[in-house]
């Protein structure tokens, strides 16, 4: 059974910004049908907005990623986001709520300040929270082969 990975906007931004790195490796794993990628419309909106404001030349790369991968979309309810907001800063509540609702194996993020290294959030979301590097290294014997 394939792992299900919820990608937040930091990971999608990094994958669109550079073809090198573990965020992009996750895209290749999905293209090779080794993992299922899950996200939310809010994550896509945030990623697009962030790329448009800071690296508009990479918007086409994001579009190619979205066309190449059949992301599963999850839409948490307002109630689910409010519940998550009791556990995390408000801006990350929709992410935590979506990951919990999607019943994924990992919430994959680069957010060291608010999400990574917070076991109480992983417990609430009922999933592991990890950086792309941790996930890729756990899935592949030699992640460099993906480059």
C-alpha to C-alpha distances, 58 to 12, 45, 48, 62, nearest whole angstrom: 11, 15, 10, 7
* pLDDT of res. 96: 97
d(CA 6, CA 3): 10
Q: In what order do the strands lie in the sheet with 35-39?
A: 72-73, 35-39, 3-7, 106-108, 128-130
What tens digit of pLDDT does each residue of 96-134 get?
999 999 999 999 999 999 999 999 999 999 999 999 999
d(CA 144, CA 18): 15
The reported pTM is 0.92
**pLDDT surpassing 50 at residue 44:** yes
Domain annotation for the chain: domains and CATH numbers: 3-116+127-140 (3.40.50.1010)
What tens digit of pLDDT does each residue of 69-88 get?
999 999 999 999 999 999 99
């Amino acid at each position: 059974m394939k792992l299900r990975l919820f990608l937040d906007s930091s990971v999608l931004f990094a994958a669109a910004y550079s073809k090198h790195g573990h965020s992009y490796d996750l895209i290749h794993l999905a293209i090779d049908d080794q993992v299922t990628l899950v996200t939310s419309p809010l994550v896509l909106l945030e990623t697009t907005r962030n790329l448009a404001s800071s690296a508009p030349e990479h918007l086409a790369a994001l579009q190619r990623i979205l066309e190449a991968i059949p992301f599963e979309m999850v839409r948490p309810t307002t109630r689910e986001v409010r519940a998550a907001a009791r556990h995390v800063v408000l801006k990350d509540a929709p992410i935590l709520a979506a990951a919990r609702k999607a019943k994924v194996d990992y919430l994959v993020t680069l957010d060291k300040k608010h999400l990574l290294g917070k076991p109480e959030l992983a417990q609430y979301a009922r999933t592991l929270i990890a950086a792309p590097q941790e996930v890729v290294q756990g899935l592949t014997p030699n992640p460099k082969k993906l480059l």
